Amino acid sequence: MSQFEFTLKHRDAATSARRGVFLTPHGPVQTPGFMPVGTQGTVKGLTIDQVAATGAHMILGNTYHLALRPGHETVRKLGGLHGMSGWQGPILTDSGGFQIFSLKDISKITEQEAIFRSHIDGAIIRLTPEHSIEIQEALGSDVAMVLDHVIALPATHDEVEDAMARSIRWAKRCLEASTRDDQAKFAIVQGGLDTELRVQCARDLAAMDFHGYAVGGLSVGEAPSEMYRITAATCPSLPEHKPRYLMGVGRPVDLLESVARGIDLFDCVMPTRNGRNGLAFTDSGNLKLRNAIHREDNRPIEEDCSCLACQHSRGYIRHLFVAGEMLGPILLSIHNLTYYQRLMSEARFAIESDRFDDFMTEKKRGWDDGEKDSPSN
């Protein structure tokens, strides 16, 4: 019997939203769910206990960065990512494919491999699909992503099709290189903003019977409406009984819009990166805690939030940022991750209650009203 199982518990009556549970060797992941990003084996600025207290079920690490520092063999000797970091829940590792996109000025793609220069010391790195899996098996994550070819948009149809076809061939090589039965493999659907290529890629990958499927190459500068269009076109071609993961997304509204189109899992640096820069997510829109309007505000960020940050006043948190104290970014990172987890928990309940569309409308109204009232100072 497989150590991985996805149970689809309920489908929303009015949308394509799904309520499920993904079982892994390190515990269950409730879906729809959001994964905090721990690129370097840590969710930036937070202890593992603090991450767990936000309600997170699963976190993400990055193959490229961990292979460079401290090195995947070092991670293996430290007990894998679980032993090294102390996180005992499920972990997903990205394959390094996104670095093909983000480090395009220092990378080259051939059919055999991606060739990088390390952003740390300039050393040449050769990342094949097989080596990506070897690294991730050393890291010991519960889910390993296949190595894919992500290209910048806009691009010509031929360029997008070439990268998509290469992603399919690389996915097959990743599957063939796999040796660990206790590590799931997720394929990644590419195809740019071309619905026909996306559907073709999804169907070809579905035929390989991976444990799960991701939609990649989005949230890289295209309009949100384009992301929603591609997600809606892709999901029906993915297996019903496997989890679906939209990579690198995103804003709270993007999460709900994508859940409505059939996505189960998300990751993004947005809650922690924005937290470090003084922005808090709330049901009433975004709060810029550096703004002078919060200087003498005794209210918490959100009245009904039980996170560590909301035990303090907005005025105190603003003071921490103005004073350059590290506690400010820590507290807002905790709040934002807690907010994302609460949003996903509420989404799961709304799906079970067949009222996800109403739930999404209510949330969007609150965010829109908050943006209208947001101070400019």
C-alpha angle with apex 248: 215 to 6, nearest 5 degrees? 55
pLDDT at res. 372: 55
Whole-number Å distance between alpha carbons of 202 and 244: 11
pLDDT at 377 over 70: no
pLDDT at res. 97: 78
pLDDT at res. 120: 86
Express each pLDDT in 74-93 by its tens digit.
999 999 999 999 999 999 99
> Considering the entire predicted model, what is its pTM?
0.96
Whole-number Å distance between alpha carbons of 28 and 91: 11
pLDDT at res. 376: 42
Express each pLDDT in 213-242 by its tens digit.
999 999 888 999 999 999 999 999 999 999
* CATH, domain 5-268, list 3.40.50.800, 3.40.1480.10, 3.40.640.10, 3.20.20.105: 3.20.20.105
Domain segments of the chain: what residues? 5-268, 275-373
User: Binning pLDDT at 50, 70 and 90, where does residue 373 land?
Assistant: very low
Mean pLDDT across 265-276: 98
pLDDT at 365 over 50: yes
Structure tokens at 335: 């709040």
Task: Write out the H or E segment, with its range, that includes residue 18.
Answer: strand 18-24
Task: Give me the long-range contacts of 82-89 (CB less than 8 A, separation at least 24).
Answer: 82/26, 82/140, 83/140, 84/41, 85/38, 85/41, 85/42, 85/48, 86/48, 87/38, 87/48, 87/51, 87/52, 87/59, 88/26, 88/27, 89/26, 89/27, 89/52, 89/56, 89/57, 89/58, 89/59
User: Binning pLDDT at 50, 70 and 90, where does residue 107 land?
Assistant: confident
94 is catalytic: yes
pLDDT at res. 374: 53
194 is catalytic: no
Mean pLDDT across 347-364: 98
**Mean pLDDT value across the chain:** 95
Catalytic pick among 12, 94, 254, 264: 94
